[in-house]
Amino acid sequence: MRPTPSLTRNITCVGAGVIGGGWVAHFLARGYDVTAWDPAPDAEQRLRRLVDAAWPALTQLGPAEGASRDRLTVAPTLEEACAQAHFVQESAPEKLDLKRDLLARIDAATPADVVVASSTSGYPMTDMQTEAANPGRLLVGHPFNPPYLIPLVEVVGGEKTDDDAVAWASEFYDVAGKSVITMDRELPGFIANRLQEALWREALHMVANGEATVKEIDDSITEGPGLRWAFMGPCLTFALAGGEGGMAHMLDHFGPSLKSPWTRLEAPELDRKLYDGMVQGCEEAADGRTIAELVAERDQGVIDVLRATGRLPRGRNGETA
Ligand SMILES: NC(=O)C1=CN([C@@H]2O[C@H](COP(=O)(O)OP(=O)(O)OC[C@H]3O[C@@H](n4cnc5c(N)ncnc54)[C@H](O)[C@@H]3O)[C@@H](O)[C@H]2O)C=CC1
Ligand SMILES: C[N+](C)(C)CC(=O)CC(=O)[O-]
């Protein structure tokens, strides 16, 4: 049976890598009971390491009353993981056949009506719900890394998803402290990834053509537009480029630049040279910092920006009413 969003207690996370583990950390910090399942032999160790690494950041934000890492159970089978679920978040590898098969198995193992969300970063649910006996409860809940800090979740159903499942998931994520965009149609890449992908393609083209280094590309965002985007989106910030004339003057003034050949939005060939150039460029940019150190630095950075812009998620320390 589907509980009301505010009475939902038992969360099941299927797949416990970067994103599944991040979801586990988020739900634990919000005081839920979490059951995880992942077929990898070292999954439990990896998961507990990930949750431990996230916990200092979550402690700084102020976990919900009763929140504890002890409320995590790692189940031996998918069926046991799903048996008592009030909500399931699937975060398995981004492979269409795997997702189709796994979502059908989750559907078969989960109590009737309970909503099942996929973290997919790009597959439409219509393409993933094909094998499930009850496709009406399957939908996309696309998070951002790390899910325990970045508020946004994009919620969208497929052709066979029931509207009330989409409405339930949107309300549940809101209660669980996320910032929800509910989409009424399936858009390739949803919204944010579609935007990120455009930037990412340009970055790869510039590296492939030797036009900019990885560090220059990253600095151009962190020292430039990225500072604005933490609190004002690209449309509104560009409206301010039009001065008192706002977006209308901005379009009159800079509209002709749209015809300039600035962009190369076709994806570049991800050949070995570009691949190695990106990997090596990131190693240089990391300047000796390990992935664990970069994760801690990123987590602190996100908290600082959220705090500085008065947008700590509800229920966190320092919250303004
Ligand atoms: N990494 C990212 O920044 C983001 C990823 N996503 C999405 O989240 C999902 C997971 O991605 P990551 O966590 O990055 O991958 P990952 O590779 O870090 O983790 C995937 C996990 O799934 C497990 N797994 C393998 N086969 C499985 C199966 N049959 N059933 C259940 N689990 C299985 C693996 O053992 C691994 O622990 C993907 O759909 C991805 O598109 C969404 C937003 C951001
Ligand atoms: C790299 N990625 C496409 C999987 C990223 C996302 O889907 C969202 C994010 O965290 O940026």
User: Which CATH number covers residue 139?
Assistant: 3.40.50.720
One domain, residues 23 and 137: yes
Q: Which atom of ligand 2 is nearest to the CA of 145?
A: 10
Residue 200: name the closest of 271, 96, 278, 140 by CA. Answer: 278
Q: What is the model's pLDDT at position 267?
A: 66
Residues 136 and 89 in one domain: yes
Same domain flag for 173 and 30: yes
Count CB-CB contacts under 10 A for residue 37: 25
Q: Of 131, 147, 182, which one is at a domain's C-terminal end?
A: 182
* ipTM of the complex model: 0.99
Question: What ligand has the least distance to the C-alpha of 101?
Answer: 1
One domain for residues 222 and 283: yes
Check the annotation: does 141 bind a ligand: no
Confidence at 24, pLDDT banded by 50, 70, 90: very high
For helices 291-308 and 43-61, angle between their N-to-C axes, nearest 10 degrees: 30
Q: Is the CB of 92 under 6 A from ligand 1?
A: yes
- Whether residues 138 and 218 fall in one domain: no
Residue 69 lies in a domain: yes
| CATH number, domain with residue 231 | 1.10.1040.10
**Does the beta carbon of 120 lie inside 6 Å of ligand 2?**
no
Number of domains in the chain: 2
Query: Do 17 and 164 share a structural domain?
Result: yes
* Residue 209 forms part of a structural domain: yes
Range of the domain at 110: 5-182
CA 117 / ligand 1 centre spacing (Å): 13
Whether residue 127 sits in one domain with residue 12: yes
Q: Per-residue pLDDT tens for 195-211? A: 899 999 999 999 999 99
Looking at the structure, do residues 53 and 137 belong to the same domain, yes or no? yes
Given this model, what pLDDT does residue 261 score? 65
- Let me know whether 46 and 97 are in one domain: yes
Would residue 309 count as lying in a domain? Answer: no
For residue 123 and ligand 2, the question of a CB distance below 6 A is answered with no
d(C-alpha 303, C-alpha 60), whole Å: 9
The bridge status of strand 33-37 relative to strand 87-90 is: unpaired
Nearest CA to ligand 2 atom 9: 144
**158 shares a domain with 22:** yes
Same domain, 201 and 151: no
Residue 19 lies in a domain: yes
Q: What is the pLDDT of residue 245?
A: 73
Question: SS3 letters for 199-253?
Answer: HHHHHHHHHHCCCCCHHHHHHHHHCCHHHHHCCCCHHHHHHHCCHHHHHHHHHHH
The answer to whether position 296 is within a domain reads no
For residue range 220-279, list pLDDT tens digits in order.
998 888 888 887 888 888 888 877 777 777 787 877 777 776 767 766 676 787 777 767
pLDDT per position as a tens digit, 121-174: 999 999 999 999 999 999 999 999 999 999 999 999 999 999 999 999 999 999
Q: Where are the beta strands (DSSP E) in the chain?
A: 10-14, 33-37, 72-74, 87-90, 115-118, 138-142, 152-157, 179-182
Query: Does residue 187 fall inside a structural domain?
Result: no
Quote the Cα angle for 234-242-302, to 5°.
Answer: 30
In whole angstroms, give the CA distance from residue 285 to residue 270: 20
SS3 state at 75:
coil
